[in-house]
Amino acid sequence: MATQDPDCAPGATTAPPAASPYDEMLTAEGGVRAHYAGLHQRIGTLAAAELAERQRTLERYFLLQGITFTVYGGDSSTERIIPTDLLPRIIPAAEWERIEAGLTQRLRALNMFLADIYGAQQILMDGVVPRELVLGAPSYRREMQNLYVPHEAYANVCGSDLIRQPDGAFAVLEDNLRVPSGVSYMLANREASRRTFPGSFRAAGVRAIDRYPDLLLATLKSMAADWRPNPQIVVLTPGVYNSAYYEHAYLARLMGCPLVEGRDLVVHDNMVYMRTTTGLRRIDVIYRRVDDDFIDPLTFRRDSALGSAGLFNAYRAGNVVICNAPGTGVADDKAVYAYVPAIIRYYLGEDAILPNIETYLCREPTQLAHVLGNLDKLVVKAVGASGGYGMLIGPHASRQEREAFAAAIAADPANYIAQPTIQLSTAPCLVDGEIEPRHVDLRPFILSGEKIVVTPGALTRVALKKGSLVVNSSQGGGSKDTWVLESAPSETQP
């Protein structure tokens, strides 16, 4: 418990797991929240058949656009659309202001933390974060030590996962600083909901998010601005078989940058080139959507064919910028996460605006004992895993599952953390023609370059199975559009 600062996590410690979840649309008394009034009224006027028809139109739009992800199973793989819900989730302006301020603060601190870790390591010397926790993390990259990163912007693109707790306050569940995805779904959901509820959309006054590609490009440009006035920027994808390929192609297309694969790149004399029809052309900035491990077989995994041999040396030589910087994963490590409020205080002298979820580190013996004694109440996560894999949701698990997990934790405590089971908030969703509450989280996207920009929108992920708390698309989750409002919704409906 030593890692947790009580005043940083109001609600998290006091809310019992059984507390009924916060509903985005309805108050505990059953009334409709003011910012949902317009949409609620509109839905009420639509027959079930009409809602279902709009849902079909929306799914057809996704299929036609090829907005699909690939499901692997056996020796065949199929393309599916990510399940998408018709009804937008609405966030009023005042709440968003707090989220925006909290995320900006968090990213400032995390980038400073990365610059410090890969530089003087002052925070380790001051004992704020345990040295072995950082330097022993698999995501720590020794190769990044003392390397110049423009603006100290390591995590150029971040997608943090926020949840709303039963008391209505938002908290950060995890940060994704490596190669976060989902922004194309945010944009596609918006495109779809504008068609589905044009009247409500206009009346509500929703903040625009369509400048995201443009802002991303500006962020990437700013990473090369001080040494190449007109940089050649590319998007590096693992290829068409990657589950997020649609997103890679989408961003490349909307930014007007070439979408390259490892096999298109050539490194010569520590310069990176791409093979064009007329010969080689130099590249200055690589927005890579390939994991650290795979970007350069000479530096990282030798069996990787997804990157380009010599790429990291070109980066070290300062001839190319890789975004996000390799090694950013150490700051979203699930164990380091527990220290983020302390990191924010250390660098900025401020309290975290957005609290963490209370986290038990199994590496600490006293906390380990607490975790093993309360497995039926906790969510346990493997430090190195993501995407909803390697996870135990205690209250929903069987006795055997809990026992198997207890053995795994005891065998390798440092690899596990635990958190109380949080009742994610619920939002109205269209399920089999009925409007029912389902659990949701919130993934906003934050860009860090010369400055930090929080896109006024987010991907709301939905656990489509009734009662489920798992929102990952690989585990049966879906998504929906998120309306961030400009101000209070206008009184008059068209």
Partner 1 sequence: MMLARVADSLYWIGRYVERAEHLCRLSDVMLNATLDRNEAAGLVSRIVLSAVGDAELHSADDPYQLAMALALDRNDGGSIVSSLSRARENARQVRDQITTETWERLNLVHLRVTGHDAPRAFNDGASAFLHDIIADLHLFKGAADATMSHGEGWRFLLLGVHLERAQLIGRLLEACFGVRRAPDDHMALMSVLRMSCALEPYLRRFTSDVQGRKVLEFLLLDEEFPRSMRFCTARIEEYLGSAARPAEASSHTAPERLAGRLRARLQYADMEEFDGASGLIASVLDDCAALHQSIYDTFVAYSLETRLPA
Tokens read off for 281 = 């052309």
* Element containing residue 164 per DSSP (H, E): strand 161-164
Alpha helices, DSSP H, located in 364-430: 365-373, 399-411
Q: Which two tokens stand for residue 412?
A: 């390798």
Alpha helices in 332-461 (DSSP H): 340-348, 365-373, 399-411
- Specify the residue, 5 or 191, whose C-beta has the smaller distance to partner 1: 191
CB 362 within 8 A of CB 417: yes
Cβ distance to partner 1 smaller for residue 80 or 131: 80
Q: What residues pair up with 172 in beta bridges, in sequence order?
A: 162, 356
Minimum CB distance to partner 1 smaller for 26 or for 266: 266
Shortest distance (Å) from residue 95 CB to partner 1: 34
CB of 70 to partner 1, least distance (A): 10
The two structure tokens encoding residue 129: 């974060």
Question: Is the dihedral angle over the CA atoms 480, 397, 380, 24 positive or is it negative?
Answer: positive
Closest distance to partner 1 from the beta carbon of 189 (Å): 17
Residue numbers at the binding site for partner 1 (CB under 8 A): 63-66, 235, 239-240, 245-246, 249-250, 252-253, 257-261, 263-264, 266, 268-269, 271, 274-281
CB of 456 to partner 1, least distance (A): 25
Nearer to partner 1, 103 or 267 (CB): 267
Question: From the DSSP assignment, how many helices (H) and strands (E) are in the chain?
Answer: 13, 22
User: Do 254 and 354 touch, CB atoms closer than 8 A?
Assistant: no
How far apart are CB 406 and partner 1 at their closest, in Å? 45
Query: Which residue number, 229 or 365, has a Cβ lying nearer to partner 1?
Result: 229
Helix (H) or strand (E) segment spanning residue 437? strand 434-439
Select 22 or 246, whichever has its Cβ closest to partner 1: 246
The answer to whether 343 and 330 have CB atoms below 8 angstroms apart is: no
Residue number with CB closer to partner 1 (67 or 464): 67
Shortest gap between Cβ of 299 and partner 1 (angstroms)? Answer: 21
* Nearest approach, Cβ of residue 480 and partner 1 (Å): 23
What distance, in Å, lies between the first and last C-alpha atoms of the chain? Answer: 53
Q: To which residue do tokens 């205080």 refer?
A: 345
Closer residue to partner 1 in complex, CB, 110/274 = 274
Closer by beta carbon to partner 1, 268 or else 451: 268
- How far is it, in rounded angstroms, from Cα 394 to Cα 396? 5
Q: How far is the CB of 147 from partner 1 (least distance, A)?
A: 25
CA diameter of the chain: 68
Min dist. Cβ of residue 252 to partner 1 (A):
4
Q: Taking Cα atoms as reference points, which of 174, 481, 129 lies closest to residue 337?
A: 174
Nearest CA to 241 out of 377, 78, 115, 390 is that of 78
